[in-house]
Amino acid sequence: MARRCAIPCRARQRGAMSVTMLLLMVGLVTMLGLVEVGYLYWAKRDAQKTADLSAIAGAQRLDLCSAGLGDNTAARRNALVENRFGGQVDIQCGSWKPSHPAADHFLSGASTQHAMNAVKVTARRSVVPFFGHNSAMPTVSAQAVAKRSAPSAAFSVGAQLLRVNGRTPLGNTLKLVGVDLDQTTLLGYDGLAQARITPGGLLQALGIPVDANISVGDFNALLAAHRVSLGRLLDATATVLAQSGVAAVDLSALRSALATRLDLDQLAIKLGSDTAGGGLFAQVVAPEGTAASALETQLNALDLITTSISIANGGRGVAVNNLTLLGLVQAQAAVIEPPSIGIGGAHQGGVGITHNGARAYNAQVRVFVDIDTNNLPLAGGLLSLLGTRLKVPLHVDVSNAYADLKSLQCGARPRTATFDVTSSVLRTCIGKVADADRFTRRDVCDASLGKEQLLTLLGAPLINDKLQLAALSGTQRVTVPENETRSTDPNALPIGTSLMTLTNELMKLLANMINPGIAGARTDDTALQFAGQFLDATRQASGRYDVDQAVKVLRGDVRVANLNPIGDWSLKDQPSALNVFADVTQGRNGGLLGGLLSLLLGDLTAKSCSGLLTQLVDYNGCVKRNLASFLQTRPGGIGDPNAGSVVATPGATLNCSGVLCAVLKVALEPLKGLLNEVGRLLSITLANVLGLELGRTDVHVQSISCSGAQLVY
C-alpha cells in the first residue's frame, strides 16, 4: 500500500519551489517599485525645497531682479550654487496681491498699478528610473512664490517744541485748549511716552471689530467712517495700556481738567482721514494691499493722547494767557487742522513702481489778532473823537507741515527712517473773515478773503482792501532713528524777512493816517474832513460851531477832549492865521476882505459867515469850509509826506509837522509801537507761551517694523 503511493506523492510536490520563487520575485518587484516611488517623492520634495528657498532668497533681494524681470540673481544662485540643484530653474519677478485672480495670486512683471514685491520660482528636473529610461515617466516640477513684506513705520509730525522751564509736550497741547495742569501731574503723564499701543488693540477696546485680513482700502474707509468721543478714547487707551502691563495708568486728573473746557462725550474725533478732512490716523499705506502690519504697529501712547486732544479742540479759538500786544490787544490761537499719526511703508521707486510713502501732518495753529483802535484806550479816545479808525484783523497760520516717508533703513543699528519734510510757515492775511470760519476753515487767506475797511480817516473811508502775504515754504530731508525725534534746520533769515514784511505793511497802513495822499486822497477833501471833525469836537451844546473856542483849542490856549493843538502860524504879513480865520468867518475887520484875502489865501477861498441867510441856512458849512482853506496854508500842509516814511520805518522816532500828524501824534506813537510788536509776538511770544519755534519741524518715529520675505504659495 505504501509502495504504491510513493511515486504519485513526489509528483504532486514537484513545482512548489517555483511558486515560492514567483512570490519572492513579486515581492522584490513591489519593493523596487516602492523605492522608485519614494525616489520620485524625494525628487519632488527636493525640487519644492529648491523652489521655496530660492523664492525667499529672491524676495529678500528684489533689487537683483533683471531689467526684464525674468530673472533674479539671488534666487538663481541659491538654487544652483547653494542647493546644487541639477535641474532647470525658471524665475520671474512680479507682483503678489490677494486680489490677483491667479491661483497663486502672482502677476508677472510690474506696473504703476502693481508694484513689484514678489519672486516666483519653478524648479524642474528629469527623474532617471531604476529600471532604465521610461519616456512615460513625468518630469518632476515644483513652484513657489515668496513676497517681501514692505517695511513700515509709525510716525508723527509737529512744530518744534521748546522743552524749557519744565514744559512738556502735553502741557503745550493743553495750552491751546485753555487747560492748566500742575507740573507734577504733567510730568507723570509724560511717562506715557515710553508706553506702546497698537491700532488693533485700540480698535478692540473701542468695540470696533477688524478682520486681520482686511484690505488697506477697506481699513482706511472703516477708520474714516467711525467717530468717537475724547472721553471714550481716553478710557480705551487706559484699558489697553493696563492690559499690556503698564502700571498705574490713571487719566482721571486729565479727564477732569479737560471736562471743564471740552465736551468729552461729543463724537468729535474721526479715527481716519479721507478727502473730506484729517483724522487721528493719516491714510494707511500698505503696498501689499493688506492692513495686517498696520494693525500691529507700535504707537506712542502719549502722542496718541495729545493728538486726540488737539482734534477734539479743533475749531475753538482760545485766548492764551500772556499772548498780548503791549497788554492792549488779546490774541487768540487755535488748532485749525489736527495732527495725524502716519502708518505705512516708504516711497518705492524703481522698475515699474510709482508708489508714494506714508504721510503725516502736523497741527496747523492759527493766531488771530484783532487790532481795532475803537477798542484801544489810545490818548483818551482821540481817534474816535476825530472819526478815525484803524482796524486790522490779522490771521496768521503759524506753521503747516507734513512728512513723506521716503525710505527705511532696516539694516542700520538702530533702524532709521528718512523723510522729506515740507513746511509752510507764516501764511498771513489781513481782511474780512466770517466769525464762524475763523477757526474752522483750513484756509482763510485764499480767494474767499473779503475786503475790510482798514482805515477810516476823519469820518471818511480811506482804505477798503485786503492784504495777503505768501507763506515761506521749503522741503528738507531728515533721517530719524527709531523711538527718537529729529528736527529740520531753522531758516531764520527768510522768517525774519517775512516778519519784517508784515510789519512794514502794517506801518504803511499807519502812514496813510498822516499822509492820506498815499491812498489817493485829495488834500482839500482831507482838510474839509479834518475841519469838520475838529469843529464837531468843540461846538456848542446847540450844535452851532464855536469859532472862538475852536481857535483857542487849535492854538493850545484851551485843552478840550484830549485834542492836541496844532499851534498858530503867520500868513504873509499877518502874525496869526487863526485870528484872520476868526475875523473873516465872523465878519470882523472887514478890511481884510477882497484883494487882501485873495492875496493871503491864493487859490483858496473864504468868506464871512455872518450874513443873515448864511446864519440861517449854512453857518456850520461855511465855518468848516473857511477853516479847511486856512488849514491848508499851514507850513507842512495837511498831510506830511516825510512823516509818512518815518511812520513806515519800524523803530524810527515819529517826527512830523503836518496838521494831521500834529493832532494825531499822541495816538500814533503807541499805535506804531503796537503794530511794530506784531512781528515780535509771532517770533518770541509764541515760543515762550505755546512752545512753538518758527522755522523748525519735529519728526518723531514711534516704531519701525522690518518684516522679511515669506512664502505665500
- Residue 128 CA to residue 138 CA, distance in Å, equals 10
- Of the pLDDT bands very low, low, confident and very high (cuts 50, 70, 90), residue 144 is very high
- Asked if the model's pLDDT at residue 88 lies above 50, the reply is yes
The three three-digit cell numbers of residue 386, written as one number: 476825530
Across the range 562-570, mean pLDDT stands at 83
- In this prediction, residue 122 has a pLDDT band, given cuts at 50, 70 and 90, of very high
Q: pLDDT of 365-386, one tens digit each?
A: 788 888 888 888 775 577 887 8
Half-sphere exposure of 329 (CA within 13 A, CB side): 27
- DSSP three-state, residue 622: helix
What value does the mean pLDDT take over residues 498-503?
Answer: 78
- pLDDT at position 162 over 50: no
pLDDT at 588: 77
How large is the average pLDDT for residues 474-480? 91
Residue 119 parent element (H or E): strand 118-125
Q: pLDDT value at position 712? A: 85
**550: CB partners within 8 A, 6+ apart:** 534, 535, 538, 627
To the nearest 10 degrees (0 to 180), the angle between helices 252-259 and 301-312 is 10
Q: What is the pLDDT confidence band of residue 491, given thresholds at 50, 70 and 90?
A: low
Provide the residue ranges of all domains of the chain, joining segments of one domain with +.
42-147, 152-513+678-711, 517-638
Looking at residue 441, what is its pLDDT? 76
Buried b (16+ CB within 10 A) or exposed e, 484-518: ebbbbeebeeebeebbeebbebbbbbbbbbbbbbb
The per-residue pLDDT for 92 is 93
* Cβ–Cβ under 8 Å, residues 272 and 280: yes
Who has greater pLDDT, 25 or 420? 420
Burial class (CB within 10 angstroms; exposed 0-12, middle 13-18, buried 19+) of 88: middle
The pLDDT, as a whole number, for residue 472 is 79
Alpha-carbon distance 591 to 595, whole Å? 9
Q: Please give the average per-residue pLDDT across 257-261, as a whole number.
A: 77
Q: Is there a contact between 360 and 157 (Cβ–Cβ < 8 Å)?
A: yes
Q: Does residue 110 contact residue 352 with C-beta atoms inside 8 Å?
A: yes
Residue 632's Cα: distance from chain center in Å?
54
- The overall longest dimension of the chain from CA atoms, in Å, is 196
Lowest mean pLDDT among 105-119, 289-303, 547-561: 289-303
Q: Is the pLDDT of residue 225 over 50?
A: yes
Mean pLDDT of 605-614: 81
Average pLDDT over residues 156-169: 52
Question: Among residues 537, 486, 635, which one has the least CA distance to residue 156?
Answer: 486
**H or E segment at 141?**
strand 140-148
Among the ranges given (141-145, 416-420, 694-698), the one the predictor scored with the smallest mean pLDDT: 694-698
Determine how β-strand 329-337 pairs with β-strand 364-372.
antiparallel
Q: Point out the least confidently predicted range of 21-30, 161-170, 297-306, 340-349.
A: 161-170
- Comparison of pLDDT for 254 and 406, the residue scoring more: 406
User: Would you state the pLDDT for residue 494?
Assistant: 67
- Is residue 164 very low, low, confident or very high in pLDDT (cuts 50, 70, 90)? very low
In the sheet that 152-161 helps form, which strands lie side by side, from edge to edge?
Answer: 341-345, 152-161, 692-705, 485-487
Greater confidence, 401 or 441? 401
Alpha-carbon separation of residue 324 from 200, 367, 368, 601, 665 (angstroms): 44, 11, 11, 49, 23
The 10s digit of each residue's pLDDT in 265-308 is: 887 788 888 877 778 888 877 655 667 777 777 887 777 887 78
Query: In which residue are the cell numbers 504504491 written?
Result: 4
Q: Would you say residue 418 has pLDDT above 90? A: yes
pLDDT value for 306: 76
